[in-house]
Amino acid sequence: MQAARPIGSGSPLARWIETPEGVVLPIELGQRGERAVAFILDFLIVFGIIIGLYLLLIAVILGGKFGGIGWLLAVVMLASFFIRSFYFAFFELRWQGTTPGKRAMGLRVIDRAGGPLTPQAVLARNLMREVEIFLPITVLLSGTFSGQIWQTLATIGWLAVFMFMPLLNRDGLRVGDMIAGTWVVAVPKGALFGDLAHGEAAEDAQVPSSSQYSFTTKQLDAYGIYELQTLEGVLRDRRPNAGEVRAEVARRIRAKIEMPEEDLADADTERFLRDFYTAMRARLERRMLLGVRRRDKHDKR
Amino acid sequence: MATVHTAAGRREPGQGTAAEIPAKAGGAPAFTLKSTAFRAEREPAWRRLEALITRAEKGGLASLDARELLRLPILYRAVLSSLSVARAISLDRNLLTYLESLSSRAYFLVYGGRSNALSAIGRFLAVTLPAAVRAARWYIALSAACMVLGLLVGYVLTIGNLDWFYTFVSEGSAQGRTPTADTETLRRPLFSDGRGLGERLTAFASFLFTHNARIGIMAFALGFALGAPTMLLLFFNGLTLGAFVALYTSRGLGTELWGWLLIHGVTELTAIVLCGAAGLMLGRAVIFPGEYTRLQNLGRAGRRAGVIVIGAVLMFFVAALLEGFGRQLILATDQRFLVAGVTAVLWGLYFLRAGRGAP
């Protein structure tokens, strides 16, 4: 699938998955920083709820009307335990692998092998949080180090391995992800713009939509797919200085394909580039149908 | 292969006209690429899918009605097929990127897991869990052996010389129940009933927090480190238990202690053994990856082991109920043994028989 590589696939976070239908899709792993922020958001929600419960309890105690304080305390403790343990699993089951924090950051849990995300996987990856996050926090906060210094250090080292596992592997997996066979990916955003070959963007460029310029096969064969898609990027560019870039690109193309150089007005530049793009795409797509994928201008096919 | 395009009026008939469609009356677009025609035909379906997905990403699958839910997988497969076609015929990078991201987003929703949490949990309890436990029988045997070995060693050493007790049991967990305490002090905790519902619930909740689930989850998590810490943890747990048994036996309270322990211990110790077994599965997956990479194999074993740990957590819950209520309410030792026996039979039946023959 080399030829179908998407933009930005040189990124260290780009991966492929194969769907159960056998189609290979590019995905992008979630950045560690974004995942940390998502976790902190969820963590704040969980502890906000728990602290709220305890405040409520204190209010009831101070009110002094209710007798069974021990009973209430137990209920609050139990509720906190369940909220803490099952918050993540609950949302990832209900919301197809997202939690409020992940949704805010545009992240999602999926199966690493491309299959469906199973309830077992969700439960397994989230139970590991108990060991990765909550246990270290408890140990560090309670300060229950009674042994020698080396024991303390060994404990901290051991917990650190769990906590910082996402930094220690290429895929940013936590231990829970390894256990469950999942990873966290960024939800892609992609907008569909007009088809440049069709002449749809003509209204903002003020050019008629039929071809004005003609090219010979030899001229069209000056470039390959890489150059075609670079030209596509130039044509879709709507930044303020895009006009200058287009003029420069047009000048270079004309030099390369040995077309008489002349000063083109802005509208003509656009016209020329679009015609060249359309003709080149027609030529390359046609050759692709016949099995020849000419990668770039150095590709001698 | 000259493919020469000029303005509509001056078109030269090239040979490579496969990608061209003769100009329509009015002389508007001179020709249409195959990829452009393809896009024009399929785009409405992509837009429909995109609208569905955008809504579902914001408000969850629940925001789609029944008809839309049925259409989602159909549109998803349609866009996958569009993507495959586009990869073969189109060089429009924006189109390819769009189709790839649309396919991924639809894939996340379609394969993002079951939305019906209740039926998932039901099936988990009825089929998945008992099957996973049966499949792990050798790990369970090894895990149980570690604990029993610890128990025997702890018992034999402590019964020979009570000073060993201090080695095996930390002050915190002894809570005054040491060889220097008199027999009455040792006896009292075995038969104390909590004073009321409140105390029982508090006891229940704190048991749930402190010991049970934590040891189990630790035993599981430590399996990740090649399994050795899991075995040690199980062994030490057995040692502590053996030391207590030895201490009480030396005062003629052995039977009473077993009744006190087993009323919830059948459930709790089984759960710890299950967690240990799950940990050992992870350890083995790392040591002997077989035909997979270590990470792949860890994932495969982890999912099976995770099932067992979740079952164990549920058992800890039941054990905490028995410990918080059953033990405080049932004070007669023979009745405690009865409860212990009943739980043993029920768990045995459940793990050995439940879900057999289910698909």
pLDDT tens for residues A182-210?
999 998 888 888 888 755 444 444 444 56
Backbone angles phi and psi of B265, in degrees to 5:
-65, -30
Higher pLDDT, A97 or A163: A97
Q: Residue A39 has what pLDDT?
A: 92
Cβ contacts of A228 on chain B, cutoff 8 Å: 91
Contacts of A74 in chain B (CB under 8 A): 198, 201-202, 204-205
Instruction: Decide: A98 and A92 in contact? Cβ < 8 Å.
Output: yes
Interface-testing mutation among A13, A192, A226, A290, with chain B (most B C-beta atoms within 10 A) = A192
Residue B209: predicted pLDDT: 52
- At residue B309, the pLDDT reads 82
Q: How many angstroms separate the Cα of A142 from the Cα of each of A40, A134, A135, A136, B246? A: 21, 12, 10, 10, 32
Closest by Cβ to A190, choosing from B1, B77, B101 = B101
Mean predicted confidence (pLDDT) in A100-126: 87
Contact B89 A288 (CB under 8 A): yes
Q: If you compute the radius of gyration of chain B from its CA atoms, what whole number of angstroms results?
A: 33
**Chain B residues lying within 8 Å of A196, measured CB to CB:** 92
CB pair distance less than 8 Å for B93 and A193: no
Q: Which chain B residues are closer than 8 Å to A281 by Cβ?
A: 33, 35, 91-92
Residue B178: count of CB within 10 angstroms of its CB:
15
Which three-class secondary structure state does DSSP give residue A222? coil
Are B57 and A26 in contact (CB < 8 Å)? no
What per-residue confidence (pLDDT) applies to B195? 54
Is-contact B112 A117, C-beta < 8 A? yes
- From A244's Cα to the closest Cα of chain B, the distance in A is 22
Mutate to test the interface with B, among A123, A184, A200, A272 (most CBs of B within 10 A): A123
Determine contact, residues B14/B4, Cβ cutoff 8 Å.
yes
A214 touches chain B (CB under 8 A): yes
Q: Give contacts of B 61-100 with A, CB under 8 A.
A: 61, 77, 80, 83-84, 87-98, 100
Which pair of tokens denotes residue A38? 């998502």
How far apart are the CA of B346 and the nearest CA of chain A, in angstroms? 24
Q: Is beta strand A107-111 parallel, antiparallel or unpaired with respect to A182-186?
A: antiparallel
DSSP 3-state of A113: coil
Positive or negative: CA dihedral B28, B34, B36, B37: positive
**Nearest beta carbon to residue A6 from set B100, B201, B206:** B100
| Least CB–CB distance from B93: residue in A93, A209, A232 | A232
User: Side by side, which strands form the sheet with A24-29?
Assistant: A14-18, A24-29, A182-186, A107-111
Cβ of A139 under 8 Å from any chain B Cβ? no
**Are B230 and B222 spatial neighbours (Cβ–Cβ below 8 Å)?**
yes
Q: ipTM of this model?
A: 0.81
Q: Which DSSP symbol is given to A11?
A: S
Which tops the pLDDT comparison, A65 or A94? A94
pLDDT per residue as tens, chain B (359 positions): 334 443 333 334 443 333 444 333 333 344 578 888 888 899 999 999 999 998 888 877 878 888 988 999 999 999 999 999 999 888 888 899 999 999 999 998 888 765 556 666 777 788 888 988 998 899 999 999 999 999 999 999 888 888 888 877 776 666 667 777 777 777 777 776 555 555 655 655 555 555 666 677 777 777 777 778 888 888 988 888 888 888 888 888 888 888 888 888 888 889 989 989 998 998 888 888 878 888 778 777 877 887 888 788 788 878 877 877 777 777 788 888 898 999 999 999 999 888 787 66
- What's the gap in Å between the CA of A281 and the closest CA on chain B? 7
Residue A119: count of CB within 10 angstroms of its CB:
23
DSSP 8-state secondary structure symbol assigned to residue A131: I
Average pLDDT over residues A271-281: 87
Of residues A90, A188, A229, nearest to B101 (C-beta): A188
Rounded to 5°, the CA angle B177-B182-B188 comes to: 65
Contacts of B112 in chain A (CB under 8 A): 96-97, 108, 110, 116-117
> What is the reported pTM?
0.72
Write out pLDDT tens, residues A215-264: 888 888 888 889 888 898 888 888 888 888 888 888 888 888 877 766 66
CB–CB of B96/B46 below 8 Å?
Answer: no
Query: What local confidence, expressed as pLDDT, does residue B148 receive?
Result: 93
Residue B357 or A48, more confident: A48
Is the CB of A208 inside 8 Å of chain B's CB atoms? Answer: no
Q: Do B80 and A23 touch (CB under 8 A)?
A: yes
* Domain residue extents for chain A: 2-186, 196-289
